[in-house]
Amino acid sequence: MSMSSNKTGQVVQINVNPEGGVPKQPVPQAEVTIAGVCGDKQRDRRYHGGPTRAVSLFSYEHIQALQAEGHAIAPGTTGENLTISGLDWDTLQVGDCLRIGDRLRIEITGYAAPCSIIADSFQDGQFTRISQKLHPGWSRLYARVLVEGIIREGDVVEWDVGDF
């Protein structure tokens, strides 16, 4: 069965920070529960974490494009838990579902508003470069966990799978 390239991607990196904040460091695998990615902590629970913001995701292709623009961004430096390649990031929307690896199922719940904590990842501190309001399609995404599971670097990511 062949799938459209924009509907299938791959986990490039899994990122956590047990102290909270950024940058998040790569780990080869992680358990993901309704509470979030095990081994990761959020410092400011008003804006991060909780059931509708259990997982943060970002596009590897967007990171590469931002690097080409001269930004110091790299996987994990803006706080995403999962760096994903291969999906048509601009068209992912709230309500879309992803299957990652053998079991994990997540649903996109919103766009992660950038804040000054991630300014070091951007030339001249221009962290609003990944603001959904200013640059639609360039934001990190938040997701809630529908089915818990263990994920590994290299896992396949499938978008809009019909057998949830």
Domain of 50: which CATH number? 2.40.33.20
Tell me which residue range forms the domain holding 77.
5-159
Q: What is the pLDDT of residues 76-85, one digit of tens each?
A: 999 999 999 9
Answer yes or no: is 132 within a domain: yes
How far the first Cα of the chain sits from its last, in Å, is 18
The total number of structural domains that make up the chain: 1
User: Interior CA angle at 110 toward 152 and 113, to 5°?
Assistant: 95
Predicted confidence pLDDT, tens digits, the chain (164 residues): 344 447 899 999 999 999 988 999 999 999 999 999 999 987 655 555 678 999 999 999 999 999 999 999 999 999 999 999 999 999 999 999 999 999 999 999 999 999 999 999 999 999 999 999 999 999 999 999 999 999 999 999 999 755 44
Answer yes or no: is 164 within a domain: no
